Structure 1
Amino acid sequence: MLFNNKAMFYLFTVIVFLGMMLLIVYTYQSFTMRQVQEAVSSRLRTMDDFVDNFHNDLDRSISISATRAMISLEDYVSSNEEFFDSKSALDQSFKEIFVNGTINGNQVVLMENSSFKNYSKKVMASASAIGFYFNVTINDVSLDQSDPWNIDVHINASVFLNDSQSTAYWIYDKSFFTKVSIEGLRDPLYGIYTQGKFQNAIRRTNISNFVVGQDTSGLLMHINNSYYYENSNAPSFLMRFYNDINASSNGIETIINIPVLFSQGFDIYPEKPVIDYQYYIDSYIAELCNFQNMPNWFKIKDEELNKYNLSTLNYTSC
């Protein structure tokens, strides 16, 4: 009987000990599992935040790179004194300079450290610093205009983000869209037709009434400041890069200041209208001249009369 009591006590002790051990192991495993889950959740949140920050910052980066790319493209066509062959040729050159900072494989000084490739390297370095591998590949880039004063930059890219611990990864294709103002950019028409010797930056006019009665001070200010005015009969900013002078709903135009051109040593064409895209094209001939309170070189086609509020002035046919 004594033996049985000792055996029972021993068995009870073993059971209690094993139970405690199992409880400790279970508690440890549960705690460890929670730690792992919390670590994974934290890592996923960090990766998700990284992707969000990349998307938020990308618009700024695209705007900077695209603006510098357009400046460089204008410089390129002006220096070479030739237009792009087509819209697709413009898009192709824009993609090269935007992504790589080169034109025809040649490095462009203005794009140094400002190309999209440079930006993506900086993002990759930031990702690596927190244990991520990041890569973005530009699949396609195109330009468009949905209003006269901005360029629409469309980008399709493949994005890959991986955790160095293989916790998770993001892989997706996404289209990005950014508007870039053309104000301050140079007009390629001026650069090409003056062999790069005379540049004219796009500045939107702030004058709404060009002529009031016989007062032409508003129009003269518009001309003297080389302001641009939106006109659906004129070509858009992008169309000027490939010499398409057809009418566009996003068209813009300026009035050439003839005395300024003459002072720079350029030939003057007295029979031509002074609207910029019409002045350099042979098919355009001035129709209306000798406007009251305007310089004698100011000549236009009939279609411009009401647009610039000129109908209240005396004038003659050319």
Structure 2
Amino acid sequence: MKKGFIFMITVIVFLIIMLTVFYTYEVYKVSMDDNAVEKRVLSMNDYIKDLEVDVERAAYIAGFRTLLSIEEYVSETGEFMTNLETNFQEAFYSGNLSNTTPFMLENSTFSLYLQKINQNSKKIGVQVDINISEINLLQTDPWNVQIDVVSKVTLNDTRGLADWSFEKTYTTNIPISNFKDPLYSVYLKGRLQNFIVKTDITDFVDNNQTSALMSHIEDGLYKASNKAPSYLMRLRGNLSNSTYGVEGLIDINLLENQEDLEVNYDRSVVDYIYFGNQSTNNRCDVQNMPNWFKIDTEHINDYEINELSYLNCT
């Protein structure tokens, strides 16, 4: 009887110990699993931040190369890009521009960058899917073009510990500085090119001296103007005005030195007016300016011509 009681007590103690060990193990196991999930969530959250930087960098590179390719297309064909948004979207994403793949876009399309991002993410156990719904090309200020890539992003941990799904618009801005002015490429038949460079001149006329104004013209510089077309409008051949417009002044002397290039001496030297067909009231014989210099009345104050003497053109 006594031995049986001792045996029963021993069994009970043993069972209690086993249950305690098992429970402790399960609690430890759950704790370890929770820690693993927490660490994975934190690491993937950091990865999402890095992903945003990578995608925006890819959008900048692909966007810059696409604009360069469109610039060259306009320059080589002498035709404006009338379907600019559609052509940009196709070239940006897949490298197709008018049924060709420009040299600048070989192995540099946005879709290829996304593939590289996914390949690299797999090395750290993350599956990334970025589905693009929109690619928008915008002029948001005179000197920059904005690209918005609207997408749905899905990230999955390959071990099934965590996943994300969200909508995201990736945005990048590309300066237009040193891009070719499409108006020169088309209207001057490629004989002369002019690159868009922002002027730092603020006083065009000083005490009747026009040296700053002449430097502005001879250097082919540009200033912001809400009377002028934006860079994207220039690519389309649209010469109407924009809040984000830029304009330059034509150096007629350069045109005169080109063989077989017709010079229109009756037009204002403001570029989009010179190349366009709008009627303007012009001023001639401007003090301390070349004989070929004519400017419309809408721009007299903009270039401080009002500080000089001049005559109405007849």
TM-score interval, smaller chain = over 0.9
| CA distance in structure 1 between the partners assigned to 2:64 and 2:183 by the alignment | 18
What amino acid sits opposite 1:150 in the alignment?
Answer: N
Segment drifting more, 4-13 vs 49-58: 49-58
Q: How many residues align?
A: 312
Cα distance, 1:286 vs structure 2: 6.5
| CA distance in structure 1 between the partners assigned to 2:278 and 2:37 by the alignment | 70
Cα distance, 1:178 vs structure 2: 2.5
Residue number in structure 2 paired with 1:83: 80
CA contact under 8 A between 1:273 and 1:284: conserved in structure 2?
no
Residue number in structure 2 paired with 1:207: 201
CA contact under 8 A between 1:286 and 1:299: conserved in structure 2?
no
Cα distance, 1:23 vs structure 2: 1.4
CA contact under 8 A between 1:229 and 1:254: conserved in structure 2?
yes
- Structure 1 position 120 matched with structure 2 position 114: yes
CA deviation string 1:202-258 (max 9, x = no partner) = 111100000112110110111111110111111111111122211211111001112
CA contact under 8 A between 1:255 and 1:275: conserved in structure 2?
yes
Q: Secondary structure at the match of 2:306?
A: coil
- Among 266, 275, 278, the alignment partner of 2:270 is 275
Cα distance, 1:280 vs structure 2: 1.5
CA contact under 8 A between 1:138 and 1:158: conserved in structure 2?
yes
CA contact under 8 A between 1:231 and 1:251: conserved in structure 2?
yes
CA contact under 8 A between 2:181 and 2:194: conserved in structure 1?
yes
- Among 147, 168, 178, the alignment partner of 1:174 is 168
Segment drifting more, 169-178 vs 35-44: 169-178
| CA distance in structure 1 between the partners assigned to 2:29 and 2:191 by the alignment | 73
TM-score normalised by L of structure 1? 0.93
What amino acid sits opposite 1:263 in the alignment?
Answer: N
CA contact under 8 A between 1:99 and 1:138: conserved in structure 2?
no
Question: Which runs of structure 1 show a deviation greater than 4 angstroms over 4 or more consecutive aligned residues?
Answer: none
TM-score normalised by L of structure 2? 0.94
Residue number in structure 2 paired with 1:219: 213
Residue number in structure 2 paired with 1:314: 309
Residue number in structure 2 paired with 1:67: 64
CA contact under 8 A between 1:272 and 1:286: conserved in structure 2?
no
| CA distance in structure 2 between the partners assigned to 1:273 and 1:126 by the alignment | 56
Residue number in structure 1 paired with 2:284: 289
Flag structure 1 segments of 5+ consecutive residues without an equivalent: none
CA contact under 8 A between 2:182 and 2:235: conserved in structure 1?
yes
Flag structure 2 segments of 5+ consecutive residues without an equivalent: none
| CA distance in structure 2 between the partners assigned to 1:208 and 1:287 by the alignment | 23
What amino acid sits opposite 2:268 in the alignment?
Answer: P
CA contact under 8 A between 1:139 and 1:157: conserved in structure 2?
yes
Q: Secondary structure at the match of 1:256?
A: coil
**1:124-139 equivalent positions in 2, closer than 5 A:** 124-139=118-133
What amino acid sits opposite 1:207 in the alignment?
Answer: I
Q: Secondary structure at the match of 1:283?
A: coil
Q: Secondary structure at the match of 2:295?
A: coil
Residue number in structure 2 paired with 1:300: 295
| CA distance in structure 2 between the partners assigned to 1:59 and 1:219 by the alignment | 39
What amino acid sits opposite 1:68 in the alignment?
Answer: R
**1:1-318 equivalent positions in 2, closer than 5 A:** 4-85=1-82, 89-265=83-259, 266-284=261-279, 287-318=282-313
Segment drifting more, 221-230 vs 253-262: 253-262
Q: Secondary structure at the match of 1:103?
A: coil
Cα distance, 1:262 vs structure 2: 3.0
What amino acid sits opposite 1:27 in the alignment?
Answer: T
| CA distance in structure 2 between the partners assigned to 1:198 and 1:25 by the alignment | 85
CA contact under 8 A between 2:280 and 2:297: conserved in structure 1?
no
Q: Identity over aligned residues, as a percent?
A: 35
